């Protein structure tokens, strides 16, 4: 593609002609350089846009990770506060009814626990059963506890435990944890 760079009038001066040709060559070189640089700027801008998108994506991922970590930390802090409160409440307990009250408050916070029962062991296979009904603490003397209750272990929903509990509390035990 050709274009006119400068008009030279006749008669021309040889120095002016050479200066015009030299200026035209420099101008043409600058145009090519500018065109090349403009292309390079376009390529670099495209790369920069890709990097920006990748950076935004990475920032979003890390922000989500930080938010998840923050939620987990807050959840753990809440559990620690609750456990600390529970331990403080237990440290103030001096009677079985007070112990039941603390356990009742903690256990009823769990989904599906309607009425927690507390069975204390006494000598000669006897015990006392505590439970809350209509905001009143009830107590029942148990004259004969099953022999397997004497072992210190954790059992969940043992058939023999459920039969015994259901016969004494007169309710079905869907889920039972004994310690």
**The token pair that represents 75 in the structure block:** 């959840």
Average pLDDT of the chain? 84
Q: Report whether 137 contacts 97 (CB < 8 A).
A: yes
The torsion angle over the Cα atoms of residues 48, 54, 56 and 59, rounded to 10 degrees, is -130
DSSP 123: G
Q: How confident is the model at residue 1 (pLDDT cuts 50, 70, 90)?
A: low
**pLDDT digits 0-9 by tens, 64-83:** 999 999 999 999 999 888 88
The answer on pLDDT for 48 being more than 90 is yes
The answer on pLDDT for 3 being more than 50 is yes
**pLDDT digits 0-9 by tens, 78-116:** 988 888 888 888 888 898 888 888 888 887 777 667 777
């Amino acid at each position: 593609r050709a274009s006119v760079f400068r008009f030279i009038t006749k008669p021309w001066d040889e120095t002016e002609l050479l200066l015009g040709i030299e200026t035209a060559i420099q101008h043409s070189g600058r145009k090519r350089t500018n065109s090349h640089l403009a292309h390079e700027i376009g390529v670099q801008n495209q790369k920069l846009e890709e990097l920006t998108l990748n950076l935004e994506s990475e920032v979003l991922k890390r922000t989500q990770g930080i938010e998840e970590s923050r939620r987990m930390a807050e959840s753990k802090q809440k559990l620690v506060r609750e456990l600390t409160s529970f331990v403080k409440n237990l440290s103030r307990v001096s009677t079985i009814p007070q112990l039941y009250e603390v356990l009742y408050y903690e256990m009823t916070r769990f989904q599906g626990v309607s009425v927690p029962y507390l069975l204390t062991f006494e000598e000669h296979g006897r015990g006392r059963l505590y439970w809350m009904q209509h905001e009143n603490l009830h107590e029942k003397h148990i004259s004969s506890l099953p022999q397997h209750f004497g072992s210190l272990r954790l059992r969940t929903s043992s058939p023999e435990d459920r039969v015994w509990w259901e016969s004494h509390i007169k309710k079905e035990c869907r889920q039972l944890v004994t310690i």
